Amino acid sequence: MPVRPVDLTAKKILITGPTGQVALPVVEQLSKVADVTALARFRQLEDRQKIEAMGATVFAADLADASSLQALASDFDYVLNFAVVKSGDFEYDLAANAEGVGNLMMQCKNVRAFLHFSSTAVYEYGGQEPRKEDAPLGDNHRAMFPTYSIAKIAAETVCRFVAHQHNIPTTIARLSVPYGDNGGWPYFHLLMMQQGIPIEIHPEQPNYYNLLHVDDYLEKIPYLLAAATKEVTTTNFGGSEKTSIEEWCAYMAELTGFQPVFQQNPKAFGSLCLDTSKMHELIGETSVDWRQGIKRQITALAPELLKPQ
């Protein structure tokens, strides 16, 4: 049986990385029911204004710099860490992502639960075999994001260390491919299809993933927080139904008439589908069908591209 979700109403919640595609809808939803603080570097005034308009309190800091967190409150009920840096500079990216989660947890070590969003990019490539949480780790995303996989693995390690040292109930959720009405990987593929740009795919086909719709991750966050333990709960976090790049591009071709041009590249991201057994035990199944989600995405972002029904 899945865990009972926590009630976030009127709770004090810290959300890092709030301006990103994944976290922004979380800030928008939780700010309606909770006391939300959004932490980022906030170098762009429009980012600050957008977050404040949602009703969240803005806190400017750089997780790589522990001193910038000194004025941050330490009495949050829950922390959701979406922050990620992909500058390509190993020294800074390891400081921001790995040391950064440690700095954050040290500042907020009295929370009821800490939820760290990692990535399935921590897994070594293994063909179409669904990846379990204990599958080998590896430098999966080197071809496109040189520091990403290593920084994510390092961040998980620091997260576990601090949780164990300070008895912080923690969940590490390894995100698959999040998407929604504000963007995501399938939408980038659609734009490439529209412009006739080749989409690189791994030659070992099909290239499976577990698309995770925004509606599902919004619904499951209270469950992930409830699943937090001082031993640290690590779980895959993707859609219950796997699909492939080839399948979702074919479906978008049906909807729009634009045809994908695939280009095989052994260095392209390969299949990364998940074993969802542990996820289902902890938080239950997701509900948004990937076709429904993709059609909604196109309707929201580029309705003019849809063929007349």
Which has the minimum average pLDDT: 5-9, 138-142, 160-164? 138-142
pLDDT at 146 over 90: no
Query: For residues 278 and 126, what is the distance between their CA atoms, to the nearest angstrom?
Result: 19
Percent of the chain with pLDDT over 90: 92
**Is 23 part of a structural domain of the chain?**
yes
pLDDT at 142 over 90: no
Band (pLDDT 50/70/90 cuts) for residue 191 is very high
pLDDT of residue 143: 63
Phi, psi of 304 (to 5 degrees): -70, -15
Query: If you search the block for the tokens 């052994």, which residue do you land on?
Result: 266
Strands 57-60 and 170-175: unpaired
Question: Which tokens belong to 260?
Answer: 């994908």
Inter-CA distances, 277 with 2, 27, 61, 80, 282, Å:
11, 29, 37, 23, 9
Number of structural domains found in the chain: 1
pLDDT of residue 60: 96
Q: Give the residue-averaged pLDDT of 243-262.
A: 97
**Is 104 part of a structural domain of the chain?**
yes
Which has the minimum average pLDDT: 138-142, 152-156, 223-227? 138-142
* Cβ-based neighbours of 121, under 8 Å, separated by 6 or more: 140, 141, 145, 148, 149, 152, 272
**Is 187 part of a structural domain of the chain?**
no
pLDDT of residue 162: 98
pLDDT of residue 253: 98
**For 203-243, what is each residue's pLDDT tens digit?**
999 999 999 999 999 999 999 999 999 999 999 999 999 99
**Is 186 part of a structural domain of the chain?**
no
- Sheet containing 113-119: give its strands across: 57-60, 35-40, 12-16, 78-81, 113-119, 170-175, 233-237
Who has greater pLDDT, 145 or 53?
Answer: 53
**Is 231 part of a structural domain of the chain?**
yes
**Is 196 part of a structural domain of the chain?**
no
Rg (CA), the chain: 19
**Is 120 part of a structural domain of the chain?**
yes
Which three-class secondary structure state does DSSP give residue 194?
A: helix
CB distance 215 to 249 below 8 Å:
no
Q: Give the residue-averaged pLDDT of 12-30.
A: 97
Question: Residue 32 belongs to a domain with what CATH number?
Answer: 3.40.50.720
- Residue 281's domain spans which residues? 12-180+211-241+274-286
pTM of the model: 0.96
Band (pLDDT 50/70/90 cuts) for residue 88 is confident
